[in-house]
Amino acid sequence: MVKNTSTLLLTLATAALCGCGNNSMKSDPYEILTATFGHLEDGREALIYTLSNANGVTAKITNYGATLVSLKAPDRDGTIEDLLHGYDSVDGYAGSKNPYFGASVGRFGNRIKDGKFTLDCKDYILATNNDPGGIPCHLHGGVDGFNRRIWTATLRPESNAITFTYVSVDGEEGYPGTLSAEITYQLNDNNELTWTAVATTDAPTVLNMVHHPYWNLSGDHSTSINDHILMLPCDRYLPTNVGLIPTGELASVTGTPMDFTQPTQIGLRVNDQFEALEFAGGYDHCWVLEQPNVNGLALAARVKDPKSGRTMEVHTNQVGVQFYGGNFLSPEDFQGEFASGKGGLAYEFRTALCLETEGFPDAPNQANFPSTVLRPGETYEHRMLYHFSAE
């Protein structure tokens, strides 16, 4: 979402007054812990930071990729467990098989057809680092996107927040313009974690920064998420071709396995004979948020694990939400010293889900989609709020 600077400041001020994503009524600073998370091959140190609230909820974030490493929250009995797939050190996140666990991805999250787009009559060529259906495309910012960069962290204990900054130079991964980006994580005592991405550019560019956590609300990461109950307040979704590039159609979910307008068990229809599911090997599509709140936050998804009672709501100011059901997770990808998941676990097929709020995939090539162009003098802002509870 693009705003001018004055509008952005008004939005953030309004959110602060409403207490949305903020720690109101607390005068003492929070304690933010800092520790070493390992070293990259070139010797640079990665750090990990811990935010905690009064209810035992903790969030661990590393400056490598501005990545959410862990989110621990209680179930209905008060048992606190980690709800995120990931790794025990930076080695896994820097490895070639990391499927963007918890990452802040960019410049453009999701896919761009053929790794090409035209902006202001000039053609740009990006890396084609993904090939679903054997058709190459550009995915999540390229070979060395934002998820593989060390970000500069500023701790804000007065608001229990951390702001990460990164400057992406003109031509990085093929994108035009020097982009100044910042990402802020904030945890409050209402069990809300906010992720806010803000950016400006010195030349026209395309931008779709996306947060990419893999959730299993049961806390048992050896179990399938097919038993989770999902609700998406979306009457339409974006069908794709076999290469998972949107066709341009905004199709109705009515009467299809894509209908989550009422709470529905994820695995109930995932194996139905339906073209969209067959192309993607399950759920991996963008749903259209019918009533986006560009100046605030609107509900994008609600998911519940019936066994633990844990429930997560996702709120955003974006126009779409990508629901991915972990179709490409495979235990073969988690073998070896630096590839193993947390605690040495080899993550199985469909043991996690993603709910990524975003601009539409391939928007730079689809004139009928909301624009993802950012120009000088404009400010990009993507806001997400995760609210955790137990029923």
| Widest distance between CA atoms in the chain | 59
Whether residue 211 lies in the annotated active site: no
Residue 233's Cβ-count burial label (10 Å; 0-12, 13-18, 19+) is middle
Question: Is residue 326 within 8 Å of residue 352, measured between CB atoms?
Answer: yes
How far is it, in rounded angstroms, from Cα 142 to Cα 105?
A: 9
Set 211, 212, 221, 285: catalytic member: 212
- Tally Cβ neighbours within 10 Å of residue 122: 9
| Alpha-carbon span 316 to 292, nearest angstrom | 8
Do residues 352 and 215 touch, judged by C-beta distance below 8 A?
A: yes
Strands 205-206 and 80-82: unpaired
Q: Which two tokens stand for residue 234?
A: 């979306």
Is 290 an annotated catalytic residue?
Answer: no
Q: Computed over its alpha carbons, how large is the radius of gyration of the chain?
A: 20
Select which of 172, 356, 378, 381 is catalytic: 356
CB-CB contact of 240 with 206 (8 Å): no
Look at residues 187, 78, 62, 207 and name the one whose alpha carbon lies nearest to residue 70.
62
Catalytic residues: 212, 356
